[in-house]
Structure 1
Amino acid sequence: MPRTNGFVDESFTALPLRHLADAALARARALGAEHADFRCERVRSASWRLRDARVSGTSDTTDSGYAVRVVHGGAWGFASGVDLTADAAARVAGQAVAMAKLSARVIAAAGSRERVELAPEPSHGERTWVSAYDVNPFAVPDGEKTALLTAWSERLLAAAGVAHVDASLMAVQENKFYADTAGTVTTQQRVRVHPQLTAVAVADSGAFDSVRTLAPPVGRGWEYLTGTGWDWDAELAALPEHLAEKMAAPAVEPGAYDLVVDPSNLWLTIHESVGHATELDRALGYEAAYAGTSFATFDQLGTLRYGSGLMNVTGDRTAEHGLATVGYDDEGVAAQSWDLVRDGVLVGYQLDRRIARLTGLGRSNGCAYADSPAHVPVQRMANVSLRPAPDGPSTRELIGGVERGIYVVGDRSWSIDMQRRNFQFTGQRFYRIRDGRLAGQLRDVAYQATTTDFWGSMTAVGGPGTYVLGGAFNCGKAQPGQVAAVSHGCPSALFRGVTILNTAQEAGR
């Protein structure tokens, strides 16, 4: 396969991108816009799904178009189109200005004096950025993709105790052109993939359960499935044994336990209890209808004790292979990395340009994103990650320091309240820890805590050798709803005295 990293798809760059942008921005300026930006996108999303080594479904869709966003009279205006002519782009810009004027009248009628102003961002001139991958998955024939998924499925089906296997691969190529009235012009291409296999066992009694691969979705290409970045052979070899042990495992006794949480589970706890909670629009109450606000309110910046002194969390739009990694966001802001929690204290938030200016925090840290050309950019999550301890212990050493506890592996279900304060998480597999050693799997386990109590109970953080970049393709936010991909890196970590529930008992109440 040819190496494709570093090159933007020529079929995208061949579009009249500058011609459309120049027409739209010129029209917005002529109509008195204080700011205008033009964004043209093409997002190709595909999936391949197998059930018991047979293809059960495929999809391949492309979302294309462009949008103009303006600030006019202190109000937002937005419009989008698909006609790739200069006249059409100018008309869309006119529609965006008309929408801003209407919004300004509605805001004034409501008695509000709030004006939209954007934090300054230097002009970056013309820039091209491509995510870090070797082989574009869309350059690989579909037959080769299904053949690999079929071979993996057949391998699992041949193992004793495996009754069914689901296999899937999702792939996305996202092309984006951006230009604004400040002079920034960016062309970007991002590629991401998510392969996954689930093995199911069914007992004679009718009881059933499943285990799933732990390989996270990543900003990589086809090479991720063929040897770079994940040991698929080892994971597939171990899956049937994990499943058999899970089927025979005893139920957990509820109570307080010490937890060693693997990165394959902890990433999701970070996402829900830290990632969403440190979105500043949510903390200010601007985002409330979709999944609520945040307990980490702005007045607590610099003082809120989020967790123990071992807790150091960064927001990062630059992490290699991160799902939220970009060169520039959808407001022309260059990607950055910054602290959200330092030594256990809340010290930062995720910002876009409007929120940065509104709160006096200076420059945006590049968290504006729209998931399609028909949607307006909103403040979205960066790669939010817990940093490992430079000389921290291995996972085995963390387990060795526990007398009575549970080792948690893999994500499954979660629940968190509308202020990101109280939560409950389950997982793929749970292992009893007895006197520093693993002593078999447990069933029906969930851990429950408040966000600050949980992170405050963290007494050890694993070293760099335990660090894994997890994540998801489907983080939801805003209304109308938008979906974004985001990664969360973390090491293994030890938490003392966490409440454990028996989910079967809870369901029966």
Structure 2
Amino acid sequence: MPGVNAEFLALPLTALADAALSRARELGAEYAALRVVSTRGQFLALQDLDLETSITSDDVGLAVRVVHDGCWGFAAGIVLSPEEAARLAERAVEVARASRPVSTERVALADEPAYPDRQWSSPYETDPFDVPDADKVATLLDLTEQLKAGDGVAHTRTSLQAVRENAFYADLAGTSTTQTRVRIEPKLTATAVDRSTGSFETMRTLAPPAAAGWEYVTSAEADLAREVAEIPELLAAKTKAPSVRPGDYDLVIDGSNLFLTIHESIGHATELDRVLGYEAAYAGTSFATFDKLGTFRYGSPVMNVTGDRDTDWGLASVGWDDEGVAGQHWDIVKDGILVGYQTDRAMAALKDLGRSNGAAYADSARHVPLQRMVNVSLQPDPGGGTLDDLVGQVENGIYVVGDKSWSIDMQRYNFQFTGQRFFAIENGRLSGQLRDVAYQATTTDFWRSMEAVGGPSTFYRGGALNCGKAQPGQVSPASHGTPAALFRGVRILNTVQEGGR
């Protein structure tokens, strides 16, 4: 299995670190770190059977971040030379000095051991960028042809996103880490059109983005061939399905949908910088305020949510974060009670929480590391049942599959989610599809209504490659593992009646 990218290791990383850190030390920095980041990305898209988009991008740079006289300073550039690294250290200290007269608080960082000369790589077999573009397109085209040949499929949309991220970090404490992360996301969507009315329905594959290489596209884990074979029949049934009647229903929500609700109503709500108001101007705050830690009932007693940066399949997994903190895992919600947040070193120190749990990340050398979402997962019940067991507990309800649109307020409290597929549940059995379904709740009402979570057989590894935050905007990847779960008495809206599909 490939490890840290050899081409990246050939860069003069040690010389850059020596130049930047020695200059920062000379200028009196209390903390200084050099990052060198090289990211290659690719996006391929087919509209029907035509290659519509093929973009490959490269981003390489270096940055120095310091704490000087209790203030942050930052500078970035693109020239990978010791002279530039030293100049950036000087510039970062200048920025910190300029900030001192207007700063209202002094920066302190939670302690972290040093990790000298360490390497880490996400698990992958084949670097997507070692595969010829023609071979990638041929594989996507083959899947698309199979999907488009299905009865009733008028149009298809196929895409592939791949990223290889290399990062070097070194700081004054003696940490020096080199890492490679590879991630990939294939996606196919089918559209059926009613020629007489002009109405249409769509359905998308459920394979999530993965911390994996090219091998994932044809793997049993992604299972795209099976999905492509099934979608035309499912889509045809969806076009003929009745529109949902609004009201309160019991829901069985598949992990392929629930992961996004976790992301929005738990993941963002428990970022400590958001909780404390540091993200308020752009992305809002959080109802899960700090005074609630350790006492607040977030959900029902069957709710157990963890954060981590060390799950082998996690999109947010790393060996060390962008402040030199080792990957780890911890509880966020335990038996329904809020017990933890996601923190970087400054936020952890600010609230006397001890060690940071390693949530610092910047998506390029041009950007300042900030607190970002980690892998946030709802844990399955080790003795929990199957999907059929959950459905069997419902007399009148809906089974929700796949994510689609969503909306949530700036405090991560009031929300609405739709999905890819909805199946009526009658007397413990699935009884055909429904259309125009959205579920609506407050975060606490929703999670407190969760009566049961499925066992390991229902577990789904969802996630997103493009979680947005900050100004200037940054994107980050995060995974959300979740079992299927049973919720009682959730409000269902009809999306047509509420303003159009």
Instruction: Tell whether the structures are fold-level matches, with TM greater than 0.5.
Output: yes
Matches within 5 A, 1:104-123: 104-107=100-103, 112=104, 114-123=105-114
How far apart in 1 are the matches of 2:344 and 2:328? Answer: 12
1:51 is matched with which residue?
Answer: 47
Aligned mate of 1:31, from 3, 27, 31: 27
What amino acid is the match of 1:275? G
- Is the Cα–Cα contact under 8 Å of residues 53 and 153 in structure 1 kept in the other structure? yes
How far apart in 2 are the matches of 1:508 and 1:373? Answer: 42
How far apart in 1 are the matches of 2:124 and 2:80? Answer: 30
Aligned mate of 1:319, from 311, 315, 329: 311
2:382 is matched with which residue?
Answer: 390
- Is the Cα–Cα contact under 8 Å of residues 374 and 478 in structure 2 kept in the other structure? yes
User: 1:42 is paired with a residue of what secondary structure?
Assistant: strand
2:12 is matched with which residue?
Answer: 16
1:220 is matched with which residue?
Answer: 212
How far apart in 1 are the matches of 2:86 and 2:358? Answer: 27
Q: Output the TM-score relative to the length of structure 2.
A: 0.99
User: 2:354 is paired with a residue of what secondary structure?
Assistant: coil
2:448 is matched with which residue?
Answer: 456
Aligned mate of 2:129, from 138, 146, 157: 138
How far apart in 2 are the matches of 1:372 and 1:84? Answer: 14
1:268 is matched with which residue?
Answer: 260
1:415 is matched with which residue?
Answer: 407
Between 231-240 and 181-190, the greater mean CA deviation after superposition? 231-240
Deviation at 1:48, TM superposition (A): 0.9
User: 2:162 is paired with a residue of what secondary structure?
Assistant: strand
How far apart in 2 are the matches of 1:500 and 1:378? Answer: 37
- Is the Cα–Cα contact under 8 Å of residues 386 and 491 in structure 1 kept in the other structure? yes
How far apart in 2 are the matches of 1:335 and 1:183? Answer: 17
Matches within 5 A, 1:286-365: 286-365=278-357
How far apart in 2 are the matches of 1:104 and 1:219? Answer: 41
How far apart in 2 are the matches of 1:48 and 1:160? Answer: 26
How far apart in 2 are the matches of 1:180 and 1:71? Answer: 12
**CA RMSD across the alignment:** 1.0
User: 1:488 is paired with a residue of what secondary structure?
Assistant: strand
The 4+ residue runs of structure 1 with deviation greater than 3 A are none
Deviations 1:383-422 (A, max 9, x none): 0000000010111110111000000000000000110111
User: 1:504 is paired with a residue of what secondary structure?
Assistant: coil
How far apart in 1 are the matches of 2:80 and 2:214? Answer: 32
Q: Percent identity?
A: 63
How far apart in 2 are the matches of 1:256 and 1:480? Answer: 41
Aligned mate of 2:92, from 96, 100, 104: 96
Matches within 5 A, 1:398-437: 398-437=390-429
How far apart in 1 are the matches of 2:69 and 2:264? Answer: 37
Deviation at 1:289, TM superposition (A): 2.0
How far apart in 1 are the matches of 2:44 and 2:114? Answer: 41
How far apart in 1 are the matches of 2:440 and 2:465? Answer: 25
User: 2:211 is paired with a residue of what secondary structure?
Assistant: coil
1:166 is matched with which residue?
Answer: 157
Deviation at 1:508, TM superposition (A): 6.0
2:474 is matched with which residue?
Answer: 482
User: 1:366 is paired with a residue of what secondary structure?
Assistant: coil
How far apart in 2 are the matches of 1:256 and 1:117? Answer: 49
2:366 is matched with which residue?
Answer: 374
1:254 is matched with which residue?
Answer: 246
- Is the Cα–Cα contact under 8 Å of residues 164 and 200 in structure 1 kept in the other structure? yes
What amino acid is the match of 2:212? R
What amino acid is the match of 1:390? P
What amino acid is the match of 1:42? S
How far apart in 1 are the matches of 2:215 and 2:253? Answer: 29
Deviation at 1:228, TM superposition (A): 4.4
1:279 equivalent to 2:275? Answer no
- Is the Cα–Cα contact under 8 Å of residues 208 and 222 in structure 2 kept in the other structure? no
2:180 is matched with which residue?
Answer: 189
User: 1:276 is paired with a residue of what secondary structure?
Assistant: helix
- Is the Cα–Cα contact under 8 Å of residues 289 and 479 in structure 1 kept in the other structure? no
1:63 is matched with which residue?
Answer: 59
Deviation at 1:234, TM superposition (A): 1.4
Deviation at 1:291, TM superposition (A): 2.1
Deviation at 1:88, TM superposition (A): 1.2
- Is the Cα–Cα contact under 8 Å of residues 53 and 151 in structure 1 kept in the other structure? no
- Is the Cα–Cα contact under 8 Å of residues 143 and 225 in structure 2 kept in the other structure? no
How far apart in 2 are the matches of 1:233 and 1:156? Answer: 9
How far apart in 2 are the matches of 1:223 and 1:290? Answer: 38
2:237 is matched with which residue?
Answer: 245
Deviation at 1:230, TM superposition (A): 2.3
Deviation at 1:126, TM superposition (A): 1.3
Aligned mate of 2:118, from 103, 106, 127: 127
User: 1:277 is paired with a residue of what secondary structure?
Assistant: helix
Matched residue pairs, number? 500
1:229 equivalent to 2:221? Answer yes
Deviations 1:56-101 (A, max 9, x none): 0100001100000000010000000111211111010000000000
